[in-house]
Amino acid sequence: MQHLFRLLLCLLLLHPLLVQAAPSAKKQRVVKTEDTARIGYLLMDPESGKVLDASREREAFLPASVAKIPTTLAALHILGSDFRFVTSVKATGPLESGVVKGDLILVGSGDPSFNIAGVMDLLMQLKLKGVKGIQGRFLFDESALLPAENITEEQNEEESYNQGVSALSMEFNRVQFQWSQAQNGSLTSRFTPALGNVEVLPGPPAKTGPTLVYLGGERTERWRLNPRNARSGWEWVPIKRPARHAALFFREMGSATGIALPVPAPGQAPANATTLASRTSAPLSDLVDPTLEHSNNLWTELIGMTAAARLTKQPQSVSGSAKVLAEWLANKLPQTDWSGYHLTNGSGLSATSRVTPRQMVEILQWANTSLAGERSYLSLLPFSGWKGTLSTRFTGPSTFRVWAKTGTVVFGKGLAGYLFTRRTSRLVFAVFVSDFEQRKTFDAKMRQHSREEIAQGNAWNSQATAHINALVERWLQTY
């Protein structure tokens, strides 16, 4: 098996088509991909523009999370690396004897880092000003961006990384759900935080499908439990209406701190509303760093949507912001051939997004020569053997020599960034592996994948990662 795998790696380096490894010792059946999988890559010297190695560099591939590079890079230039989000509490009337004589509005600006500590900070500011209650309504304002129940409809709704998107988001827009189900079907469950806005109903065990199935709902987001794997366990449940969730939590903690608030309702703060409390985020560059390190979809979308809203001076949707930023990049890089470039969203959580290795390399080459603020874009990327999604890749002598963004969807892998070889100071590269046929088959069975099909996709991705690693290691040793 080891001899065969070494042979396959050699074939990768000699031929542009990706070859699938033989079944493992566990005899997992892996669908053959000789005729459908493709690999494309480009390695360039950014100083001279000389192409050192290339194959299918002008063909479009699945970028997966490598798409976070153009989104965050554009946002840094549009908003500035020192840009800060502000979440505020505003009032439409005066504060008299501890009571706000008007509405109180919790206003979001798209801060991806707003969290439980931020809620408590706002409440303590109100407390210090003597606020004990309000005479009007308690509203939540998410009008800075266009909200959505999912990042993408292409992916399963139950995935915690496909949560709702809102200008008023909190703690990754998810809650923890723990459950146990008796033999008679009765369900014992607990949510953290428990705010009454999420409900899980018991369902019969099934052989296929996700553990949780979204049923919809307005005031209460309802799910059905499909305990196909176990009678007990826990899941991160994505919140589909994040602004209301954040406002409910604000109200809950307000009660704990002695501030009485009514049930929240959607609304918009008038221009003449008075700011009673505000929470400012870290600088944008300090938010992009963990966004890339952990490859967080929600954070990327909120950052990209905010940048697009700044450009257009109006709230933007997930897909709309991706288009706006693509047009902005095209104007910044007019010499780049943008044929085939398409990002469905800013995070890469999509099977329909496309990018070529050359496009990504030219984006990175421009990033290398256009400092956004005081921090270089390269320094924000994960790096080999140490940080983020590259912490376990390119270790040993290659540690610290690969600074890049990874990308993974089922039947799609990518890696793009910079190499520091022993003979040259720095090289820029992009490599993608995609199997569009298998991905199309996989998408056709959304939410109904068998364990074997999931295992096949994971096996394909693992082998694609090995092929990318071998190619990059060859570059490190050769140039």
Nearest to 413 by CA among 342, 348, 478, 366: 348
What is the C-alpha to C-alpha distance for residues 433 and 477, in angstroms, rounded to an integer? Answer: 22
List of domains in the chain: 2-81+284-478 (3.40.710.10), 85-281 (3.50.80.20)
Is residue 256 within a helix (H) or strand (E), and if so which, with residue range? helix 242-256
438 contacts: CB under 8 Å, gap ≥ 6: 31, 33, 36, 37, 411, 457, 460
Residue type at 221? Answer: E
- Using one digit for the tens of pLDDT, what is the confidence trace for 410-453? 999 999 999 999 887 899 999 999 999 999 999 888 767 777 88
What is the C-alpha to C-alpha distance for residues 30 and 462, in angstroms, rounded to an integer? Answer: 12
- Using one digit for the tens of pLDDT, what is the confidence trace for 39-71? 999 999 998 999 999 999 999 999 999 999 999
171 contacts: CB under 8 Å, gap ≥ 6: 115, 116
- Using one digit for the tens of pLDDT, what is the confidence trace for 85-131? 999 999 999 999 999 999 999 999 999 999 999 999 999 999 999 99
- Using one digit for the tens of pLDDT, what is the confidence trace for 338-361? 999 999 999 999 999 999 999 999
Quote the pTM value: 0.91
What is the C-alpha to C-alpha distance for residues 186 and 225, in angstroms, rounded to an integer? Answer: 11
342 contacts: CB under 8 Å, gap ≥ 6: 60, 326, 352, 353, 354, 355
What is the C-alpha to C-alpha distance for residues 150 and 128, in angstroms, rounded to an integer? Answer: 37
- Using one digit for the tens of pLDDT, what is the confidence trace for 11-45? 444 444 343 333 333 333 333 444 689 999 999 99
